[in-house]
Chains A and B, each alone.
Chain A
Amino acid sequence: MYQKTLKNLVSDAKPVEPFEQLEAKRLSRPDPNSECTLCGRCARACSGRAIVISEGRWSVDLGRCVFCRDCYDICEHISSVPAPHYALRREDLVFLAGESRDVEGQLPREKTKAVRGSVAIRELDTGSCNACESEANARGNKYYDMERFGIKVTPSPRHADALLVTGPMTRNMLVAAQKTYDAVPNPKLVVACGTCAISGGLFVTGDVVGEGISDTLPADIFVVGCPPTPNGMIVSLIKALGLRH
Chain B
Amino acid sequence: MNPEFVVPIDRLQERLQLKLIDGYGIMCMYAVEEGKMSRGIRTVLRRDAEILSLFTPLESDTYDMIHTEVPQTRPYEREMHEMSGLNPHMAEHYGPQRLQWAYKDAYPLQKASLPEERVFRPIPDNRMEGDGIFEIPVGPVHAGIIEPGHFRFSVAGEPILKLRTHMGYTYRGIEKLMEGFTETDRTRIIERVSGDTAVANALAYAHAMEGETEVPERARLLRTIFAELERIYCHFGDIGGIAQDTGFSVPAAYAAGIKEKILRLNEIIGGHRFLMGTIVPGGVRRDISDDSLREIQNRILKVSFDIEELVGMMEGSSFLMDRVETTGVLTHKDAVEYRALGPAARASGVKTDVRKERPYDAYGDVGFRVFTREKGDVYSRMLVKAGEIVESTSIINQCLDQIRPGPLRTEVRTADGLGLGIVEAPRGELVHCAEITEGEIWRYRIRDPSFINWLALERALPGNIVADFPLVNKSFNLSYSGNDL
Contact = CB atoms under 8 A, between A and B. Distances in A.
Contacts of B277: 68-70
A207 B173 contact: yes
Contact of A143 (B145, B257, B285): B257
B147 A128 contact: yes
Q: From DSSP, what is the main secondary structure of chain B's interface residues?
A: loop
B189 A15 contact: no
B438 to A, nearest CB: 23
B112 to A, nearest CB: 16
Contacts of B185: 47
Given A15-B257, A69-B277, A48 B169 contact: no
Contacts of A124: 141
B101 A156 contact: no
Contacts of A66: 188, 192
B21 interface: no
A172 B95 CA distance: 14
Contacts of B101: 171-172
A201 B177 CA distance: 13
B264 to A, nearest CB: 8
Interface string B147-183: 1100000000000000000001111111011000000
B174 A206 contact: yes
A242 to B, nearest CB: 24
B271 A170 contact: no
A138 B262 CA distance: 12
Contacts, number: 161
B119 to A, nearest CB: 12
A37 interface: no
Interface in A149-186: 153, 155-157, 167-168, 170-173, 176, 180
Nearest to B101: A171
Interface stretch (B248-256, B325-333, B343-351, B365-373): B248-256
Contacts of B260: 138, 141-143
Interface stretch (A5-13, A97-105, A111-119, A213-221): A5-13
Interface string B185-206: 1001100111110100000000
B145 to A, nearest CB: 5
B273 to A, nearest CB: 7
A210 interface: no
Nearest to A6: B250
B481 A127 contact: yes
Given A135-B273, A173-B140, A227-B274, A123 B145 contact: yes
B143 interface: yes
B250 A5 contact: yes
B254 A130 contact: no
B169 A138 contact: no
Contact of A129 (B194, B273, B285): B194
Interface string A121-143: 00111111111111111101111
Nearest to B186: A47
A173 B170 contact: yes
A133 B271 contact: no
Contacts of B174: 203, 206
A203 B484 CA distance: 14
Contact of A130 (B196, B256, B276, B286): B196
B61 interface: no
Given A141-B256, A170-B171, A172-B170, 15 more contacts: A2-B313, A5-B313, A12-B257, A123-B145, A129-B193, A130-B480, A131-B195, A133-B147, A134-B274, A138-B260, A155-B143, A171-B101, A202-B192, A206-B177, A208-B172
Interface of B: 98, 100-101, 108, 118, 140-141, 143-148, 168-174, 176-177, 185, 188-189, 192-196, 198, 237, 250, 253-254, 256-257, 259-260, 263, 271-274, 276-277, 285-286, 309, 312-313, 316, 479-481, 484
17 contacts: A5-B313, A69-B271, A127-B481, A128-B170, A129-B170, A131-B196, A142-B257, A155-B143, A155-B144, A170-B172, A171-B101, A172-B169, A172-B171, A176-B140, A203-B173, A206-B173, A208-B173
